[in-house]
Amino acid sequence: MDDFLKGEPIQYREVQGYESATFSGYFKTGLTYMQGGVASGFKHVRSNDAKVQRLLQVKGRRVVRATEVPVSWESFNKGDSFILDLGRVVIQWSGCQSNGFEKLKATLVSKSIRDNERSGRAELVIVDEGAEPTKMIEVLGAKPDLPDSSGDDTQTDVSNRKGAKLYKMSNASGEMEVIIVEEQSPFSQDALESSDCFILDDGANRQILVWKGKCNTMTLCEGSEANGAERQAGLQSAEKFIQQMNYPPHTQVRVVQGKEPAHLMSLFGGRPMVIYKGGASRNDGQSERAETRLFQVRANPAGDTKAVEVDPSSSCLNSSDVFLLVSSSASWMWKGKSSSLAEVKGAEYLAGILQVTPTQLEEGEEEDAFWESLGGKSDYCQVPRINNKIDAHPPRLFACSNKTGRFQMEEVPGELTQDDLAPDDVMILDTWAQVFVWIGKEAQEEEKMEAAASAVRYMEADPAARDPRTPIVTVKQGSEPPTFTGWFLGWNHEFWNIDPLKRLMQSL
């Protein structure tokens, strides 16, 4: 495949337990590790297997990992959630020391097992410690005294926190040498030379990046003219570097100069993915469609688009996107001033699905009937998102926590979603033009105080030489302004009216 694509795509090799933030971001419901493998043909993994009997330990707040452990009370502790999969019955058990956000993530994994592995045919039972069902006791025996948590989930997410280091590979002496260039990040771009090969040890993101200048003649690293053998040698050099540094098998990423990867990787190509509001209830059937419907169409830097149905309110509009408004009497395609051609094409495709021929509207040229269908004109996000800088500076979200005893910042992987905002944390959203400090209602006072100062330090440490005048805005949960919500596709203004865990439980 790499030869067919002429070596241009970025290659990633992921290792269990050391997945990169980019890879982990594709699994919003968590990663599940199962027994088996190539040699066994994954014989332990069978869809709709009513005779299966396994136990999964669920850990992590941002990157959720469900690891298969021995089916025994000895595997349990009070601080984690566990899933006892018995085929026809899936039992989720949460220890007395686990919090609501961790239970929420475990419930997403349990629901995924029921819906995907059992095709919705299994019974899902969710219990807390002390309320073990009879079926669970029959399989595991009498419940003994359990130990405390095996480790804080925040600490599980935050591993290898060493600062990044930059190395140069040189054969000037006749033998290949690895020479350290800079020991601490951020680095200066001047340190890179187009005639040499460099290795960036990015411990914070569990990545080893190999960078080769276009004028370099070594075959250990890869240039734009490199053949298959040279590309393989580039990966081997990273592997030798990992062994030399006595590192665990971190993810290796091969990057060609000028082809550095964006933070958001495309998942859908061509036609847009359409997400509707409502859905099918197990008791009441398909929910009725609203008389007035508003769809937000957004494209990522790669041109892949999503169309999400949002509340039919003018406050949901965004100057960076295209919207399709469908009412009982008319329809409109509203084009924000900073929207892209890919978003226009996505809206046109959506109009075909909905079988409407919308009136074309440019932002600022709306007709009265358009505003009336949205309940009147109100403030909305008018901050340009796509202004030729989004490719180089995509939005980044960080979680701030002191649950391990010291304040830590951790980047949230994957595309931004409202579910990523944890009520018991403080979050930092970097949109390049502004930096937001979002304060959850359950956040600790120490986290609130430290987060604002950390936002300043984050700006100062950015190797892109950020403008010190960049505004830092503090927002509180439930009172988010349009300039904040506009970065989250399909923002739900009623999301905080009910606890996310309760909402998920009601949908089961």
> pLDDT over 70 for what percent of the chain?
64
Handedness of CA 140, 145, 150, 153 (dihedral sign): positive
Let me know: does 413 contact 449? Beta carbons within 8 Å.
Answer: no
Question: Per residue in 450-501, pLDDT tens?
Answer: 877 888 888 887 777 788 888 888 889 988 888 888 888 788 888 888 777 7
Domain 34-154 CATH (choose: 3.80.30.20, 3.20.20.150, 3.40.630.10, 3.40.20.10): 3.40.20.10
Distance, in Å, from the CA atom of 128 to the CA atom of 93, rounded to the nearest integer, reads 5
Please give the pLDDT value at position 248. Answer: 56
- pLDDT band for position 35 (50/70/90)? low
Distance, in Å, from the CA atom of 471 to the CA atom of 489, rounded to the nearest integer, reads 23
And the tokens for 463?
């190797």
Please give the pLDDT value at position 72. Answer: 93
118: number of Cβ within 10 Å? 21
* pLDDT score of 77 more than 50: yes
CATH of domain 160-256: 3.40.20.10
In the Cβ-directed half-sphere of 89, how many Cα atoms lie within 13 Å?
12
Please give the backbone phi and psi of residue 353, each rounded to the nearest 5 degrees, phi first: -65, -45
* pLDDT score of 39 more than 70: no
Question: Per residue in 341-391, pLDDT tens?
Answer: 889 998 998 999 899 999 999 999 999 999 999 999 988 888 765 444 445
Q: Which helix (H) or strand (E) holds 130?
A: none
And the tokens for 505?
């439980």
Distance, in Å, from the CA atom of 66 to the CA atom of 113, rounded to the nearest integer, reads 11
Rounded average pLDDT over 93-122: 84
Please give the pLDDT value at position 141. Answer: 93
* pLDDT score of 421 more than 50: yes
CATH class of 396-507: alpha beta
Distance, in Å, from the CA atom of 199 to the CA atom of 178, rounded to the nearest integer, reads 9
Distance, in Å, from the CA atom of 292 to the CA atom of 375, rounded to the nearest integer, reads 10
In the Cβ-directed half-sphere of 283, how many Cα atoms lie within 13 Å?
3
Mean pLDDT computed over every residue of the chain: 74
Which of 176, 215, 219 shows the shortest CA–CA distance to 196? 215
Distance, in Å, from the CA atom of 201 to the CA atom of 167, rounded to the nearest integer, reads 8
Question: Per residue in 296-345, pLDDT tens?
Answer: 998 866 566 788 888 899 999 999 899 999 998 999 999 999 888 889 99
Distance, in Å, from the CA atom of 485 to the CA atom of 381, rounded to the nearest integer, reads 8
* The domain defined by 273-373 carries CATH number 3.40.20.10: yes
Q: Which helix (H) or strand (E) holds 486?
A: none
Please give the backbone phi and psi of residue 266, each rounded to the nearest 5 degrees, phi first: -75, 135
Please give the pLDDT value at position 496. Answer: 81
Please give the pLDDT value at position 65. Answer: 78
Distance, in Å, from the CA atom of 254 to the CA atom of 11, rounded to the nearest integer, reads 6
Rounded average pLDDT over 46-58: 74
Please give the pLDDT value at position 213. Answer: 58
Chain region(s) in the chain for CATH 3.40.20.10: 34-154, 160-256, 273-373, 396-507
**DSSP strands (E only) in 111-237:** 123-128, 165-170, 177-182, 197-202, 207-212
Q: Which helix (H) or strand (E) holds 445?
A: helix 445-461
Question: Per residue in 242-292, pLDDT tens?
Answer: 666 666 554 444 443 333 333 333 333 456 777 777 654 445 555 677 889
Residues 6+ apart with CB under 8 A from 78: 95, 96, 97, 98, 129, 146, 147, 148, 149
pTM of the model: 0.45
- pLDDT band for position 190 (50/70/90)? low
Count H helices, E strands: the chain? Answer: 10, 25
DSSP category for residue 158: -
Let me know: does 68 contact 55? Beta carbons within 8 Å.
Answer: yes
Let me know: does 89 contact 132? Beta carbons within 8 Å.
Answer: no
Q: What is the dihedral of CA 60, 66, 68, 73, to 10 degrees?
A: 60
The lowest-confidence range among 61-70, 329-338, 393-402 is 61-70
CA distances from 35 to 39, 43, 314, 385 (A): 11, 8, 50, 44
CA distances from 264 to 81, 395, 425 (A): 30, 9, 23
Per the listing, tokens 């506009």 go with: 486
Please give the backbone phi and psi of residue 212, each rounded to the nearest 5 degrees, phi first: -125, 130
Distance, in Å, from the CA atom of 333 to the CA atom of 319, rounded to the nearest integer, reads 13
DSSP string of 327-361?
-SS-EEEEE-TT--HHHHHHHHHHHHHHT--PEEE
Please give the pLDDT value at position 430. Answer: 92
- pLDDT band for position 159 (50/70/90)? very low
